[in-house]
């Protein structure tokens, strides 16, 4: 499914936490989540597709497994690339 964000919305894929076993875990125990931005609505200027962002544990709506639609105001931080 191809998704395109509208307005002040973002589509974010939740980052998976790899373990030493063959099982892939999704981190649900902390107060925040980290994800990669897949699509950015036209009303957002400060966040770009491909960036890694931090958002609240209960923010947004999960529309597919590990895919969330968030409002721009739900983003707590953008990871800076050093």
Length of the chain, in residues: 82
Q: Which residue has the higher pLDDT, 82 or 22?
A: 82
Cβ-contact 36, 52 below 8 angstroms: yes
Model pLDDT, residue 81: 78
pTM of the model: 0.82
pLDDT tens digit sequence for 27-59: 556 789 999 999 999 999 999 999 999 999 999
pLDDT tens digit sequence for 14-29: 987 665 656 555 555 6
For residue 64, give the 3-state DSSP assignment: strand
Nearest Cα neighbor of 55 from 27, 28, 31 is 31
Give mean pLDDT, residues 53-77: 95
Cβ-contact 12, 67 below 8 angstroms: yes
Can you say whether the dihedral through the CA atoms of 61, 45, 51, 76 is positive or negative? negative
């Amino acid at each position: 499914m191809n998704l395109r964000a509208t307005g002040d919305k973002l589509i974010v894929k939740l980052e998976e936490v790899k373990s030493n076993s063959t099982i892939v875990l999704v981190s649900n125990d902390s107060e925040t989540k980290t994800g990669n931005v897949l699509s950015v609505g036209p009303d957002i200027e400060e966040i770009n597709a491909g960036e890694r962002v931090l958002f609240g544990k209960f923010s947004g709506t999960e529309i597919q497994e590990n895919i969330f639609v968030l409002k721009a105001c739900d983003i707590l931080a953008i990871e800076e690339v050093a």
